[in-house]
Amino acid sequence: MTQPTSKYAEAGVDIDKGNLFVSRIKDIVKDTHRRGVLSDIGGFSGLFAIGNEDIKDPVLIASTDGVGTKLNIAKLCNKHDTIGIDLVAMCVNDVIVSGARPLFFLDYFSASTLDLDVATEVVKGIAEGCKIANCSLIGGETAEMPGLYQPGDYDLAGFVVGIGDRNSIIDGSDVSVGDKIIGLASSGIHSNGYSLVRKVMFEELGLDVKDTIEELGCTVGEELLRPTRIYVDSLTNLLRRYPINGLIHNTGGGFIDNIPRILPTGCNAHITEGTWPVLPIFDFLQSKGNIHLDEMYRTFNMGIGMLAIVASEHVDDVLHQLTALGEQPYLIGDVVAAKEGEGKQVVIEPAGK
């Protein structure tokens, strides 16, 4: 007997394709599972037991994020296997700054019509990001929404839950005048400021993702799709050895908006230019896009993806440990006293001022 045509499929939503997608990614997802996972994908929810964690007073710490218009670059390059790393990174880097260890991750993938090959590549990237961050991908949602998205478009959101000890949560309350600010090198633009990047690269300069930029030593697409660095493993190891007074994920808002989020009242941050190598992509964007330096520091990470605030007596040890853990750390600034009525400001000045 011939199977009747699905009216839902005619409307643009193919349930059978969704089920096929789940079967395709089942092993990819399972490969991320760590101790504590109690369920496989395909159920209505993901189950995770937290009783195995050796924490006296456990607190769950959660974060959610996306990757913004970096998705447009993946589409232009027809390369979708690393954007999932960005998705995981944006979430887990937010959790680690509280001193928490990521436990599990969930993703949301929505599109006009599900392209099985593209969606599978995206999930492969998400799984790779979870492995780097040592967290488990335990579920997600895939939605076809014709009429809301243009053909070929898709969107991503990520959700992570971590765990920390209430007595060890990093909230900036231990930051004080005289502390030093250490910056950890980024891998590139990470996942912020891409609307401005696209405006400069494609609208103003008329470049294509396949064009090679001599100053960058690669194509536009290769530079713009560099995955966001995941700092979880390094910082988890660092926190076991040294007291860290503050951690800042240098994302949207850059230095100017992110550092004040952890500064206590009465403290300012003084950042010294020239104490770390600004990546070529940022020099290129600033010069070719005629972008004011203040806006650069408020939009991009400028080569520093994470910042740690430590007491001066621990600086040398922390720098040495981070280097041993594979990071590129730089002593880039100080916590200074604010004038009365001010505070929680970031001052960026050239060396020697």
Question: Mean pLDDT, to the nearest integer, of 189-203?
Answer: 97
Alpha-helical runs (H) found in 37-109: 70-77, 83-96
pLDDT tens across 131-156, in order?
Answer: 999 999 998 889 999 888 889 899 99
Measured CA to CA, the distance from residue 201 to residue 220 in angstroms comes to 8
Q: Phi and psi at residue 13, in whole multiples of 5°?
A: -120, 120
Return the closest-CA partner of residue 104 out of 155, 165, 29, 156.
29
- Report the pLDDT value the prediction gives residue 353, as an integer from 0 to 100: 60
Query: Which range, of 51-55, 67-71, 243-247, averages the lowest pLDDT?
Result: 51-55
Question: Mean pLDDT, to the nearest integer, of 204-231?
Answer: 97
Element (H or E) spanning 106, and its range?
strand 101-111
Q: DSSP secondary structure string, 289-341?
A: HT--HHHHHHHS-TTEEEEEEE-GGGHHHHHHHHHHTT--EEEEEEEEEPPTT
CATH topology of domain 180-350: Phosphoribosyl-aminoimidazole Synthetase; Chain A, domain 2 (3.90.650)
Measured CA to CA, the distance from residue 195 to residue 61 in angstroms comes to 30
pLDDT tens across 289-328, in order?
Answer: 999 999 999 999 999 999 999 999 999 999 999 999 999 9
- Report the pLDDT value the prediction gives residue 212, as an integer from 0 to 100: 97
Question: Mean pLDDT, to the nearest integer, of 151-164?
Answer: 95
13-168 and 180-350 share one fold? no
- Report the pLDDT value the prediction gives residue 2, as an integer from 0 to 100: 55
Under the banding of pLDDT at 50, 70 and 90, the label for residue 352 is: low
What global pTM score does this model have? Answer: 0.93
For the chain, give the mean pLDDT: 92
Measured CA to CA, the distance from residue 112 to residue 151 in angstroms comes to 6
- Report the pLDDT value the prediction gives residue 257, as an integer from 0 to 100: 96
Measured CA to CA, the distance from residue 214 to residue 76 in angstroms comes to 21
- Report the pLDDT value the prediction gives residue 15, as an integer from 0 to 100: 74
- Report the pLDDT value the prediction gives residue 12, as an integer from 0 to 100: 67
- Report the pLDDT value the prediction gives residue 1, as an integer from 0 to 100: 47
Query: Which range, of 16-20, 84-88, 188-192, averages the lowest pLDDT?
Result: 16-20
Please determine, for residue 53, whether its predicted confidence score (pLDDT) is greater than 80. no
Please determine, for residue 200, whether its predicted confidence score (pLDDT) is greater than 50. yes
Question: Mean pLDDT, to the nearest integer, of 67-72?
Answer: 96
- Report the pLDDT value the prediction gives residue 235, as an integer from 0 to 100: 98
- Report the pLDDT value the prediction gives residue 4, as an integer from 0 to 100: 60
Please determine, for residue 21, whether its predicted confidence score (pLDDT) is greater than 70. yes
SS3 label, residue 352:
coil
Query: Which range, of 18-32, 72-86, 242-256, 264-278, averages the lowest pLDDT?
Result: 18-32
Please determine, for residue 10, whether its predicted confidence score (pLDDT) is greater than 70. no
Query: Which range, of 59-68, 134-143, 342-351, averages the lowest pLDDT?
Result: 342-351
Question: Mean pLDDT, to the nearest integer, of 323-334?
Answer: 98
SS3 label, residue 235:
helix
What proportion of the chain, given as a percentage, has pLDDT over 90?
A: 77
Domain at 13-168, CATH from 3.40.640.10, 3.30.1330.10, 1.10.8.60, 3.40.630.30? 3.30.1330.10
Return the closest-CA partner of residue 78 out of 254, 210, 215, 246.
210
- Report the pLDDT value the prediction gives residue 3, as an integer from 0 to 100: 59
Q: Phi and psi at residue 20, in whole multiples of 5°?
A: -65, -40
Kind of pairing between the strands at 101-111 and 136-144: parallel
Where do the domains of the chain lie?
A: 13-168, 180-350
SS3 label, residue 155:
strand
Single-letter code of the amino acid located at 237 = N
